[in-house]
Structure 1
Amino acid sequence: MTMSITFTHRDGGMEGGTEADIPSLIAELDGPINDEHPDVSVTDDESSWTVSAFQDGTLVLENLDDSNVQPCHLQQVSRAEMIRVMVMLVHGDLPALQQLDWTPGYN
């Protein structure tokens, strides 16, 4: 099952995306270091769950609409793993996402 998803690019632009577009979204992280725009993200528009990937190899999982859900993160994540985790979100596989070894907080 594929959800309606929104990509947020390094330049801050937002657009709809598909599973096939995730590798090119992650490739944006290989550009120059930019403290103002260090990440890209995929958001499930229906549930507001978001996975953000940062240039330093951090992934953040959070729910943008539910302040009671604490954000969590993974560190030293490979580009391939970033793609795999974002694909889980695109497929709506929240149980599998939540089974990963997340650490509470942003980093």
Structure 2
Amino acid sequence: MEVGAETGVPALVAELDGPIDDEHPDVSVTDDGSSWIVSAFQDGSLVLENLDDGDVQPRHLRDVSRAEMIRVMVILVRGDLTALQRLDWLSGYN
């Protein structure tokens, strides 16, 4: 999803409510300027990672509601990296 498209985030997250899709279990938004990406998964987890910096370890949140997924993804779409970094991320993918 393109940065600035925050109105499309709820529809994007709603795609997770479809049938379980083992091949495509997530949806994501990316901030092209910073290469940060937030991916939301059908199991209720969120992953934050930087696509261009291999030294930055991925982080995750578990048991996230769909409303919280939307809120976090909109933070990234708005480019508010400071607010994004303040969340209680856990190390790694899970």
- TM-score of Structure 1 vs Structure 2, range by shorter chain: over 0.9
Q: Separation in 1 of the partners of 2:88 and 2:41? A: 17
2:68 paired with 1:78: no
1:55 match: 42
Q: Separation in 2 of the partners of 1:80 and 1:93? A: 18
2:84 match: 97
Deviation of the 1:44 alpha carbon: 0.6
Aligned identity (percent) is: 74
- In structure 2, the gaps of 5 or more residues are none
2:22 paired with 1:40: no
Over the aligned positions, Cα root-mean-square deviation in angstroms equals: 0.9
Q: Separation in 2 of the partners of 1:44 and 1:104? A: 21
CA displacement 1:73-103 (0-9 Å, x = unmatched)? 0000000000000110011111111111100
Aligned length: 93
Q: Separation in 1 of the partners of 2:78 and 2:45? A: 21
CA displacement 1:5-54 (0-9 Å, x = unmatched)? xx2xxxxxxxx361000000000000100111000000011111000000
Query: What is the TM-score when the length of structure 1 is the normalising length?
Result: 0.84
1:13 match: none
